Structure 1
Amino acid sequence: MQKTAIVFTFLLLLTAFTEAAAQTTVTGRIADAETGEPLPAAHVIIKDTYKGTISNQDGEFSIIVGELPVTLVVRFIGFESQEKVVTEETDFVDFLLKPSVAEMGEIVVTGEDPAIAIMREVIRRKQIWREGLKTYKAEAYTRQQLKNDTTIISISESVSIAYWDRERGHREVLKSKRQTANIDEASNFAGVSYLPNFYDDNLDIAGFDMVGVTHPNALSYYDFYLEDIQSLDGQVVYELSVTSKRKLQPLFEGTIFVLGEEYALLEVDLKPNSVISFPPPVQDFNLTYSQQFNNFGGDYWLPVDVRIEGLVEVGIVGLRFPPIGFKQVAKLNDYEVNTDLPDSLFRSTQMLMVDSTTINSGDSLFVSEVDVIPLDLQEKRAYETVDSTATLEKAFKPTGFFTRFIDWEDEDDPGYSIESNGGSSRGSNNSSNTQNSQGPSIWSKVTRNISPLARFNRVDAFYGGVKHERRYIDNRLSSEVFGGYSTGYEAFSYGAKIGWWPLKKTRRFGLSAGYSATTETRYNSDMYNSFITSMPNLLGYSDYFDYYRNEGIEFTAAYRPEKRFRGTFRLNYAYENHSAINYKTSYDIIGRDLIQRPNSYIDEGTLSAFKVSYSIGEDKKAFGAIGANDFSVSVEQSAKLIGSSWDYTRFKLDIYRRYETFYQRRFFPNTLDMRLNAGTYLGDLPIQKNEALDVALGVVTPFGAFRAKRFIPYEGASYVSLNAEHNFKSVPLEMLGWRNATQTGLSIIAFGGVGRTWIKEQQVDEFNNRYGFSPVSTDDWHMEAGLSLSNIFNLFRADVAYRIDDPGFYVGVSVARFF
């Protein structure tokens, strides 16, 4: 039995060796027979098979064959195809192709260009044969380049197996990778699964949803014109030009080649139209696409390759990056059509996966098992000369005035640390000048975790202090200590907080505890804090907040469930002593005559309360600069039973939502942004637990605040507001004939808002008795609408609001809505 096993193993190894030995690599060159010029991307096929490759920029090709002799066929539009038998004695083959000139005969035009009838037939036949194409599997090879001007900065390559299912989409399994020394394997994303197939109805190009040239309704989107007639192997090839019919739709322009007898696409050379552009800081964006198809003697026209070249320029005034050149070539061959694909491929939503058994084999697959496109001379030189020190950061380092404010140190600098949010923190603003190979300076060590605190208002007057934050034990333990002094009511503020993430492998659960004694705003604002409101106070405008003294402790537990149930749950307990501050000043730095209102009374006492909250989203309000899809809800319970001075239940809801509306095929479609903010209460709610509907901070009018109300917000024990704005992007300007409006970044925005607050009658009476005026609340519904011009100088937006319930116009500025 043991002898039988040994013999069987030997035969198995012998068979494997025989098969490996039978593999032969045939190389060659393809050129124009008349001029000797190389023919790049010429298609090389092993006759009567799905196996093939394409030539590189120098016309060179390499293909692995199972046995010799073998018949190779080379095809290139405009030239006569050539067929050669390769024997053992001739493993290097030169193909010299002769031009195939077909004169364009006389065409009688009867109302429409002949290209229209040609494309109708192309679309009709595609729908027939595509119906029978269910799946395919193919070997793939991909190579990507990044270039700086004319110099290759990096190269990344991959060999893979590509899978396509008509219902379930693309999947790709990477089998091996190779890259220049300045790119690590994890950063090599070369692959074919996300590359376009121009026979598809719809294509994703740089984030734009594009209508393909063979879409069933392509004739409604494109104009086609017959430019020339060529030939291929005795068959007519129509050369058609393609232009955009819809001026505001992202579409393609260029040339396509149609095989006359089959009415099939042979090749496309296309680029996106001018609608495919991006606002600043992108200054230029240019991509071209080329792709060939072949039916390999069968019924289905399948992609042979994809070739992409492009250039991106990024920069603003004072900060400009070098042009980033991009080049990618990919090929597919050895198709298996309508074969069963493993269900396991589609259980994951990931398009690219890795074959762990082969991915670490280095470049062995590149030289033994897979047909790769040979490197051209520039690429060979790049592999020889680009070393690990030639990082992309160095290659694309920007120039301009603002670069002096940016720290370009490498991440392995001793002064670099990873924060919980994935960012980095530096100890010194001039660390790039003060740090050296011996490590950070003493000053950097002392100050790296310290930040200043400052604000000005009519109660604190000038407040200054410092805060020290640090993380320990793999960032699982954090500490915060702060202290400062208010020159107004002459009191110190101070506090400390500690946080702990007990689970070593995940941040799903966290605990924190803290103590503080500080100035607190009497009503809560979801948009502004005391630092932001300091500037209007210093300039002599009405103070946004009222204030009180808050001293107490707080405990919080937070839990983030697994990904299938996203969001964060928090349980918070607070025990606080609330006391009034009987002080105010009307000082301002420019000597205005405004007399600030008195600081409000509060309901003094002890708060003991639990709060349960749930939030989801990334909390990306950013004063309306970017869109957000955030949700938060909370319930706070205070009870005398647990030592509180008040019995109340407070409910709060805050929702930000973004919806795509018109021109959804664009990278930045028109969007509708909405914010719903509401809350109410039960029981005995103290005045310092009122909420606020935010308003414009003078002429500063961010999204989420009422733009037709200034300085002092609406407060209330109960409240509701709805703010919305629709961003038409540059479409209205384009409709007016400004075709380059997209590149300016300018956007037209329509906005509106409605809201109301309800305040307790006893609070109104108390205000009147003490100060002779009522707290600021809505008498009825506040309603407003207006228009904005956004992205002025790529930074600002100008708002004109009209108040409907109390007629009047209000002009303001805010941060531009970038996304």
Structure 2
Amino acid sequence: MKLDSTQTLDKQFKPSGPLAGLDGPGFSWLKYADIHFNRVEGWYVGGENTFDSLAGRWTVRTAAGYGVADHRWKGSAGVEYLWDSDHSLTTGAEWFSQARAISDEGYHSSFSNTLTSLLGKNDYFDYYRVQGGRVTIGARPLGEVSVRASFGREVHRSARQTTNYSLFYAREKYRPQPLVEEGVMQPIGLSVRWGPEAVMFNLIPQNELQIDMEHSARRSTGGEFDFSRVLVRGQVRIATFLRRNLFPAQLTMRMSAGTSTGSLPLQRQFALETQSSDYAPLGVLRAARVKEFAGDRFVQFSAEHDFRSAFFLWIGLPYFYERGIETVAYATVAASSFRSRRMSIAPAVSGVYSEAGIGINRLFQLFRLDVTYRFRAPEGIRVTLGVAQLL
């Protein structure tokens, strides 16, 4: 793929190749389907839809499906009202009955997890059952600053493994599914975000900062849990050289940190996101094992430099630089710790972890290949594949 600065972004990134046909009318139903597989639900078959601008300012979201192995119906329904035309003030309510992933920051999708489960007997997530509802208030007080407050009532129950099925490795077993602390949780939440709306899987990194806070206490909010939890995530991109180009070389720095007080239940613990069966989305630890590190507090910092096609231009490989293939270098350091070991995500440990590596971005327009060295024992090199960063 050759990038021409005279083209519009729509033309430069217009779908092409074998995946372009998925945008046709014969596949339009896929955007409503929710079909996935995991060790708790087995095959889950369902659908979801969002109805925007009903009666002018109402938005309705619905989802429903059936778990074939756990024999349970699940679903959610929510409604949101927009008080003004620029969406600066919203109120909403939601009901849900679901099998939810523990400590899911959105790096891995249910689709990729279905593939790793069926092909490699590796279910990345841990799960718990939750039923309840919440009310929300959202506002945009300043430009790209958004605030959302919520109050909910949730009944938490442990989810148990119901199937050992996979296409291969029939004699092997899935990683154990942990039990959570059961009971009624009535949390108050507050989320503050600066930056444009996040792009799915961070395919287009952008400057942003988000702070998520959650508090649950028997005396003030009710329920059976006493804890407070804060999660901070930020990202900044800086152009370093080739600034006159359409896509200059970029340094991207990411930071995330979380802390808690009180008796943090297992289903609210922090787990450092990692590769899964050598699939590594942007932002995860590429050489760490699945659920290797967790805790009731953590910090993680990473720096990555995208040299664009400058390296291939410098060494004289036109096949690569004419197709926009890029080189990247990166390093990450992270640490997690437990104040209490009452319950934890097995087999997670605490401690300091670091890794560094190099990668090739935009292979066949779609993929990214990374070679990463981990400095914590057992030291070693891991090769991972991911989805390409677009900009």
Q: Same fold (TM over 0.5)?
A: yes
Task: Tell me, in whole angstroms, the C-alpha distance in 2 between the residues paired with 1:316 and 1:553.
Answer: 39
Paired residue type of 1:480: R
**What 5-or-longer segments of structure 2 have no aligned partner?**
none
Q: Deviation per CA, 1:113-167: give whole Å up to 9, x if none.
A: xxxxxxxxxxxxxxxxxxxxxxxxxxxxxxxxxxxxxxxxxxxxxxxxxxxxxxx
The answer to whether 1:812 aligns with 2:384 is yes
The 1-side partners of 2:320 and 2:110 are apart by 39
The structural deviation recorded for 1:474 is 5.4
**One-letter code of the match for 2:182?**
E
Corresponding residue pairs, total: 389
Query: CA shift at 1:525, angstroms?
Result: 2.7
Contact 1:615–1:633 (CA under 8 A) maintained in structure 2: yes
SS of the counterpart of 1:532?
helix
Q: Which has the higher contact order (CA 8 A, sep 6+)?
A: 2
- Residue 501 of structure 1 and its aligned partner are, at CA, apart by 0.7
Asked if 1:647 corresponds to 2:226, the answer is: yes
- Map of 1:752 onto structure 2: 331
Structure-1 residue corresponding to 2:362: 791
Match of 1:493 in 2: 74
Q: Does 1:673 align with 2:252?
A: yes
**Given the alignment, which residue of 487, 491, 512 partners 2:92?**
512
The RMSD of aligned alpha carbons is 2.9
The answer on whether the counterparts of 1:525 and 1:691 sit within 8 Å (CA) in structure 2 is no
Structure 1 residues 624, 634: closer, same or farther in 2, change over 3 A? Answer: closer
For 2:193 and 2:13, the matched residues in 1 are separated by 36
Q: What residue is the counterpart of 2:114 in the other structure?
A: 534
> Kindly tell me: are residues 605 and 406 of structure 1, through their superposed partners in 2, closer, same or farther at Cα, counting changes over 3 Å?
closer
Distance 2:138 2:267 in 1: 25
Amino acid across the alignment from 1:589? L
Name the SS for the 2:117 alignment partner.
helix
Cα distance in 2 for partners of 1:653, 1:315 equals: 34
Structure 1: distance between partners of 2:169 and 2:204: 37
Q: For each residue in 1:694-716, what CA deviation from the matched residue of structure 2 results, as whole angstroms up to 9, or x when unmatched?
A: 10121212221001024335322
SS at 1:645's partner residue?
coil
- Distance in 2 (alpha carbons) for counterparts of 1:472 and 1:711: 41
* Cα separation, partners in 2 of 1:727 and 1:572, compared to 1, 3 Å: same
1:549 deviates by 1.0
AA at the equivalent of 2:262: G
What is the distance in 1 between the residues matched to 2:264 and 2:14?
52
User: Counterpart of 1:780 in structure 2: which amino acid?
Assistant: G
3-state SS of 1:535 partner: helix
Over residues 634-684 of structure 1, what are the superposed CA-to-partner deviations in whole Å (9 max), with x where a residue is unaligned? Answer: 221111022121111111101121111123233222111121111000111
Kindly state the Cα deviation for residue 621 of structure 1 after the two structures are TM-superposed. 4.8
Q: Which amino acid aligns with 1:616?
A: W
For 2:21 and 2:37, how far apart are their aligned partners in 1? 30
Question: Could you say what secondary structure the match of 1:561 adopts?
Answer: strand
Q: What is the CA-CA distance between 1:719 and the residue it aligns to? A: 1.1
Are the aligned partners of 1:609 and 1:637 in contact in 2 as well (CA < 8 Å)?
A: yes
Amino acid across the alignment from 2:372: A
Residues 597 and 790 of structure 1, relative CA distance in 2, 3 Å threshold = closer
Contact 2:294 2:350 in 1 (8 A): no
Cross-structure match for 1:560: 140
**Mapped partners of 1:688, 1:787: distance in 2:** 34
Contact 2:53 2:59 in 1 (8 A): yes
Aligned: 1:599 with 2:177: yes
C-alpha distance in 2 between matches for 1:790 and 1:486: 37
SS of the aligned residue for 1:582 comes to coil
Q: Answer yes or no: is the 8 Å Cα contact 1:647–1:685 preserved in 2.
A: yes
The yes-or-no answer on 1:616 pairing with 2:198 is no
- Specify which of 259, 268, 274 is matched with residue 695 of structure 1: 274
Contact 2:295 2:350 in 1 (8 A): no
Q: Once the 2 structures are TM-superposed, how far is the Cα of residue 762 of structure 1 from its aligned partner?
A: 2.9
Q: Which residue of 1 aligns with 2:159?
A: 581
CA–CA distance in 1 between the matches of 2:15 and 2:159?
47
Partner of 2:287: 708
Of 450-459 and 603-612, deviating more is: 450-459
Question: Match for residue 105 of structure 2?
Answer: 525
Give the gaps of 5 or more residues in structure 1. 1-279, 287-309, 320-399, 408-427, 432-446, 768-773
Q: Report the counterpart of residue 114 of structure 1 in structure 2.
A: none
Letter in 1 for 2:236: R
* Aligned residue runs from structure 1 range 652-667, under 5 A: 652-667=231-246
Question: Do the aligned residues in 2 keep the contact of 1:790 with 1:798 (CA within 8 Å)?
Answer: yes
Supply the distance in 2 between the matched residues of 1:650 and 1:547 (Cα, whole angstroms): 19
Q: TM-score, normalised by structure 1?
A: 0.45
Distance 1:804 1:627 in 2: 26
Structure number, greater radius of gyration: 1
- 2:145·2:193 contact (CA, 8 Å) conserved in 1? yes
CA deviations over 1:771-801 (Å, ceiling 9, x no partner)? xxx7233442111001112222222121100
Given that residues 108 and 281 in structure 2 are in contact (C-alpha distance below 8 angstroms), is that contact kept between their aligned partners in structure 1? no
Q: Which moves more between the two structures, 745-754 or 474-483?
A: 474-483
Using the TM superposition, give the Cα deviation of residue 541 of structure 1 relative to its aligned residue in structure 2, in angstroms: 2.6
Determine the C-alpha separation between the residues in 1 that align with 2:215 and 2:93: 19
Q: Is the 8 A contact 1:524 1:690 kept in 2?
A: no
Structure 2 CA distance for aligned equivalents of residues 634 and 404 of structure 1? 39
Per-residue deviation, residues 732-775 of structure 1 (Å, max 9, x unmatched): 22222346754221211101111112134333xx56xxxxxx72
The amino acid across from 1:452 in the alignment is A
Q: 1:582 to 1:473 in 2, by over 3 A?
A: closer
Cα distance between partner residues in 2 of 1:811 and 1:619: 31
Structure-2 change in CA distance of 1:778 and 1:661 (3 Å):
farther
Query: Who is 2:40 aligned against?
Result: 459
1:67-114 CA-to-partner distances (Å, cap 9, x unmatched) read xxxxxxxxxxxxxxxxxxxxxxxxxxxxxxxxxxxxxxxxxxxxxxxx
**Match among 347, 353, 356 for residue 782 of structure 1:** 353
Identity of aligned residues (%): 26
**What are the superposed Cα offsets for residues 333-376 of structure 1, whole Å, 9 maximum, x if unpaired?**
xxxxxxxxxxxxxxxxxxxxxxxxxxxxxxxxxxxxxxxxxxxx
Provide the rounded CA distance (Å) in 2 between the counterparts of 1:515 and 1:612: 19
